[in-house]
Structure 1
Amino acid sequence: MADPQNDNQAYERAHKRVVALRDFYMHLMWYVALSLGLFAIDMLTPGGPWFFWPVVGWGIFVLVHGVSLVLEGSVLSDKWEERKTRQFMEKDRERLGGPPRPPRPLAP
């Protein structure tokens, strides 16, 4: 039987991840849109090209934001080892034909 507390915890973790991804996509969308706008303004005004510097500067922040999302679920994460262990245990159960067991809750 499913444990409602574990289900709630799993939902909260998944929802937090979805919100973080949505925030990154919004950040990326604004970066692309405003970079194109800066490029257009730079091309329509006299003087040397200046749009490159704010685009590169902001691009570094977008890159850091994206890398932080990737590393959140990576080997550097506190819960990666536990998740990977459960994943391998589940594969072994499926391979051996045993009934799947519900996953243990992640440690807080």
Structure 2
Amino acid sequence: MGIIMEVNFNDEDKYYLAKKKVENIKGFYGNLTAFILVNIVLIVINLMTSPNHLWFYWPLMWWGVGVLFHGLKVFEVFPVLGKDWEEKKIKELMEKEKENKKKWQ
């Protein structure tokens, strides 16, 4: 197996990572707000124009799936989608590349 490299972030790097995380959270809440408001409007339009033919649940359902996965990624509920996993995978690939170069030298 490869060697696990320890990453030491300085304060500037930590600030950048924290700022990026806050921006991602803000983006999620923007998406969630739009999802709620637009779907309320779609439900009202559907019920006022064709109450016998309900279609509002289609955009509600599919956009809702997108919002759900967006939230799971932003709040790092799935380890595969989280930043730690990405960093570990990058390190692993970099180490493999280093080992491959050593083999051919």
Superposition TM-score tier, normalisation by shorter sequence? 0.5 to 0.7
1:62 to 54, 58, 67: 67
Give me the TM-score of the superposition, normalised by structure 2.
0.64
Q: Percent identity?
A: 30
Q: Tell whether 2:4 aligns with 1:36.
A: no
Cα separation, 1, equivalents of 2:55 and 2:35: 16
User: Secondary structure at 1:71's aligned position in 2?
Assistant: coil
Q: How many residues align?
A: 76
Would the aligned equivalents of 2:31 and 2:67 in 1 still touch at CA under 8 Å? yes
What residue number does 1:48 align with? Answer: 53
User: What is the Cα-based RMSD across aligned positions, in Å?
Assistant: 2.2
1:24 to 15, 22, 28: 28
The runs of 5 or more residues in structure 1 that have no matched partner are 81-106
Give me the TM-score of the superposition, normalised by structure 1.
0.62
The runs of 5 or more residues in structure 2 that have no matched partner are 1-8, 86-90, 92-105
Would the aligned equivalents of 2:46 and 2:54 in 1 still touch at CA under 8 Å? yes
What residue number does 1:6 align with? Answer: 10
Shift of 1:78: 5.9
The structure-2 alpha-carbon separation of the partners of 1:75 and 1:64, relative to structure 1 and needing over 3 Å to count, comes to: closer
Cα separation, 2, equivalents of 1:79 and 1:38: 38
The structure-2 alpha-carbon separation of the partners of 1:8 and 1:55, relative to structure 1 and needing over 3 Å to count, comes to: same
